[in-house]
Amino acid sequence: MVSGLRKTALKAVILDIWSDSKKNIKHPSFADFKKALIGARILRIERRGKLILFYLSNKKVLLVHPKMSGHFLFGKWERTEDGWKPQGQGAMEDPMNRFIHLIFFLDKGMLAFSDLRKFARIELWDKSELGKAEILKGIGPDALKITFKEFEEILKNKRKIKQVLMDQKLIAGIGNIYSDEILFMAKINPFRAANSLKPKEKKVLLGALKKVLEKGVELSGSSISDFRKLDGRRGGFQDIVSVYQKKECENCGGPITRRKLGGRTAHFCEKCQK
């Protein structure tokens, strides 16, 4: 998502803002949010775990957590009685792109935010006060930047390894699909206690973690349900998954087990993952 935003919205000036779901703006009030953003230029776009940060020319920082179903779209729409309709035909007509609840009118075009479940959290802070933002507190080291020393320390945890990988306070940026794929590549059972891993397994796991996430970024994410790229098209990672929602193991041909773990579903091969 950040890669797409850098290609489309970077250096753009915000001319106006529209929203029909102002409750998603958690700080400040929508009126102050809109007033502060109009006229600002987007200087830099960064990511911390699953959080997107827009650094602006007026020394403000826009924070966006898309949550489960939020995603940005860049294009052109027109307002009708039935909502915002894309101009022209193509990927923007995908049903998952029709839940537009926020639009930034830029000098480069329109940056829309579609969110089926309206769970997204959006905040605007002075750069000097960014430390006060609760949404930034407690975020662990980024999964793609974590060192082996940091990883070893995290794996002293007694909880199940899948839960540890998905805990954003411990490691930021790993979701359900990716945790399954990482553990399958590393041949580690998701129900193993994190502190039971041997030194060699820890190294293999960290290598798998980086390989899987880098591939996810390369393929623009997973579009099994809601997520779409900025041009409205699906990401491609779901097309190459090895274990998530699969029925048979691609290694041994045995059945893939599905079991609940901490409110999520773990997919794994009981024979190949020990």
> pTM for the full model?
0.92
Assess whether the region 2-136 and the region 148-268 belong to the same CATH fold.
no
Q: How far, in whole angstroms, is CA 114 from its chain's centroid?
A: 14
What's the mean pLDDT when you consider all of the chain?
A: 96
- pLDDT for 88 equals 84
- pLDDT for 152 equals 97
E strands, the chain, in order = 14-19, 25-27, 42-48, 51-56, 60-65, 70-75, 77-80, 83-86, 100-106, 109-115, 121-126, 257-261, 264-268
2-136: CATH topology is N-terminal domain of MutM-like DNA repair proteins (3.20.190)
Q: What is the pLDDT along the chain (274 residues), one digit of tens a residue?
A: 999 999 999 999 999 999 999 999 999 999 999 999 999 999 999 999 999 999 999 999 999 999 988 999 999 999 999 899 999 889 999 999 999 999 999 999 999 999 999 999 999 999 999 999 999 988 999 999 999 999 999 999 999 999 999 999 999 999 999 999 999 999 999 999 999 999 999 999 999 999 999 999 999 999 988 899 999 999 999 999 999 999 999 999 999 999 999 999 999 999 999 9
User: Which helix (DSSP H) or strand (DSSP E) does residue 71 occupy?
Assistant: strand 70-75
148-268: CATH topology is Helicase, Ruva Protein; domain 3 (1.10.8)
- Residue ranges per domain, the chain? 2-136, 148-268
